[in-house]
Amino acid sequence: MIEKLKPLALVGQVGIDIVSSIVISYLVGYGLDKLFKTDGTFSIIFIVIGVLAGFYNFYRSIKYYVKQKDNKDQEKDKDEKR
């Protein structure tokens, strides 16, 4: 039962990773805009950085999940050969 919920948990984790990366980056950019009295320049730059960081985290999470699944499949194949 728990094995069937792991892909759903991965989707939730990826969503939280992407959104939190963007929000935190925006807040940093907004703070820098207020500090240096610019018109959103830092906000835009940091939103782009947040999007890139979010999708990089997405890539890492999917890669880790696929690697874990492949390892389990290989173990299952070894057990079946015995």
Find the mean pLDDT for residues 24-44. Answer: 97
Instruction: Please give the Cα distance from 80 to 63 (Å, whole number).
Output: 26
Position with higher pLDDT, 59 vs 82: 59
Instruction: Please give the Cα distance from 14 to 8 (Å, whole number).
Output: 10
Closest CA to 56 of 10, 20, 17, 9: 17
Closest CA to 53 of 11, 24, 13: 24
Please write down the long-range contacts of 1-8, taking CB distance under 8 Å and 24 or more positions apart: 6/65, 7/65
pLDDT higher than 70, residue 31: yes
Q: What are the tens digits of pLDDT across the range 62-79?
A: 999 999 888 888 887 777
Q: What are the tens digits of pLDDT across the range 40-58?
A: 999 999 999 999 999 999 9
Q: What percentage of the chain has pLDDT greater than the value 90? A: 68
Cα separations in angstroms, 1 against 61, 71, 72: 21, 19, 16
